[in-house]
Amino acid sequence: MGLCPGGHPPPRPCRRQPTLKHAEPAHPRFPMPRSPQDPAVFTRGLCKSFSSRRKISELIRHPFTKGRKIVALQGVDLEVRQGEIFGLLGPNGAGKTTLLKILSSLVLPDAGEARVNGCDIMQDEMGVRRAIGYVTSDERSFYWRLSGRQNLIFFARLFHVPAAIISERVDSLLRRVELQAKGNEPFSAFSSGMKQRLAIARALLHDPPILFLDEPTRSLDPVTARHIREFIRDKLAGEGGKTILMATHNLHEAAGLCHRMAILNRGQVRRVGRLDEFRALFAAHRTYRIDLDRQVNLEGVGRLVSDNADGEENGARRDTADSHRVRLLVELDQDSDGALSALMARLATSGARVLEFTRQEPSLEDIFDRLFSEGSTP
């Protein structure tokens, strides 16, 4: 068993307690957090690594050699509040899906601890599964020859929904996800958006307080993706009051849906906060766009800015140019107002006429690119 870097306490043994599945009630009540202030999801020091797959030729030549170790999670600490939409944002391979699978008690961690709705993922896996609905974009988890309604009835029985209310609940969920007119059609005839809505309906069959969404709009067209996002925000979180933990690498999706986000990269949590807090991290780095009406000596201008400002990132560079104008992008730190004034004076003495002067706010791509590439220090 591997240990996490960063000085975390010794890991707890990753052994599940035996569960008497036949003793589970037909429609169990969900264990609720002790108080509204308790987190819906809590993790401390979660670590997970896998061995890489080996080719058959390698297995034959070296049958007892272990594969290369791939670290998926390294000391993940998170708290998701009740009733919020929380985003796990990161590039492919950052560890988002692995974290969701651990929190769903589908994968054992190597070290650390986690609680979901007050249930320990190691000691009470059935309590965890009763409290969550897990939505993936994997269409293979449905039966393609069955209708949408028949699929929901099948999974309702697996979720121990009382037989007397299955039909009513399935009809209610089909209406809720706007599939009531398509419920009797085979799943194989569903569009990608319909399949995703049916996956959400399946996750709601046992009415869990927490939903885990793994890239819910992946492979969807822009219009369908927008409808899914509106449904998550307005119906699930708004009217339903669900706590939602959503993994995505779509920056604009996370910005439009999530109350808070965790920046996950290479298995580590880099930052946790709101989008406006991430923007504030880079308030000291300002970019100005200056459009001029004719060519200027950019080398001299850039040297002037660098010589009159503190910080190595200050400078002026040409962005675009045509026969009518030149565009300069000037990057300054917060204490370089004097350098900007000097630059404008130099432009005025050169005879260049300023057509437009604009301060550019950092885009989502700029913000998250810096967070992903620079780690915890912007």
pLDDT tens by residue, 170-195: 999 999 999 999 999 999 999 988 99
pLDDT of residue 322: 58
Using one digit for the tens of pLDDT, what is the confidence trace for 41-66? 999 999 999 887 777 777 777 777 77
pLDDT of residue 346: 73
pLDDT at residue 162 greater than cutoff 80 = yes
Using one digit for the tens of pLDDT, what is the confidence trace for 224-278? 889 999 999 999 999 999 999 999 988 889 989 999 999 998 899 999 999 888 8
- pLDDT band of residue 287 (cuts 50, 70, 90) is confident
Q: Which of 4-18, 234-248, 273-287, 363-377 has the lowest mean pLDDT?
A: 4-18
pLDDT of residue 317: 59
- The answer to whether 138 touches 77, Cβ cutoff 8 Å, is no
Query: Does domain 35-279 match CATH 3.40.50.300?
Result: yes
Indicate the residue type of 276. D
pLDDT of residue 20: 38
Mean pLDDT, the chain, as a whole number?
A: 80
Indicate the residue type of 356. E
- pLDDT band of residue 358 (cuts 50, 70, 90) is confident
Q: What is the DSSP string of 110-171?
A: SEEEEEETTEETTT-HHHHHHHEEEE-S-GGGS-TTSBHHHHHHHHHHHTT--HHHHHHHHH
pLDDT of residue 8: 47
- The answer to whether 147 touches 185, Cβ cutoff 8 Å, is yes
Q: Which residues of 32-69 are buried (b: 16+ CB within 10 A; e: fewer)?
A: ebeeeeebbbbbbbbbbbeeeebeeeeeeeeeeeeeee
Cα 32 from Cα 276, distance rounded (Å): 31
Q: What Å distances lie between residue 172 and 14, 166, 205, 253, 255, CA to CA? A: 39, 10, 10, 28, 31
| Residue with more model confidence, 299 or 22 | 299
pLDDT at residue 112 greater than cutoff 60 = yes
| Residue with more model confidence, 262 or 336 | 262
pLDDT of residue 63: 74
For residue 366, give the DSSP letter: H
| Residue with more model confidence, 206 or 92 | 206
The percentage of the chain sitting over the pLDDT mark of 70, rounded to a whole number, equals: 76
Taking Cα atoms as reference points, which of 76, 139, 59, 138 lies closest to residue 110?
76
pLDDT of residue 291: 79
| Helices of type H across the chain | 56-61, 96-103, 125-131, 148-158, 163-176, 192-203, 222-230, 251-257, 275-281, 298-307, 337-350, 364-374
- Give the range with max mean pLDDT: 181-195, 284-298, 357-371: 181-195
| Residue with more model confidence, 61 or 102 | 102
Q: Which of 4-8, 133-137, 233-237 has the lowest mean pLDDT?
A: 4-8
Give the domain 284-361 fold. Alpha-Beta Plaits (3.30.70)
* Residue 300: strand, helix, or coil: helix
* Residue 341: strand, helix, or coil: helix
Q: What residue segments make up the domains of the chain, in order of their start?
A: 35-279, 284-361
- pLDDT band of residue 220 (cuts 50, 70, 90) is confident
* Residue 332: strand, helix, or coil: strand
For residue 39, give the DSSP letter: -
pLDDT at residue 321 greater than cutoff 60 = no
| Residue with more model confidence, 40 or 365 | 40
- Give the range with max mean pLDDT: 30-39, 97-106, 341-350: 97-106
pLDDT of residue 157: 95
pLDDT of residue 354: 78
pLDDT of residue 59: 72
Taking Cα atoms as reference points, which of 90, 114, 98 lies closest to residue 271?
90
Cα 73 from Cα 5, distance rounded (Å): 11
Q: Which residues make Cβ contacts (< 8 Å) with residue 233, sequence separation at least 6?
A: 85, 256, 257
pTM for this entry: 0.74
pLDDT of residue 341: 77
pLDDT at residue 11 greater than cutoff 80 = no
Cα 64 from Cα 45, distance rounded (Å): 31
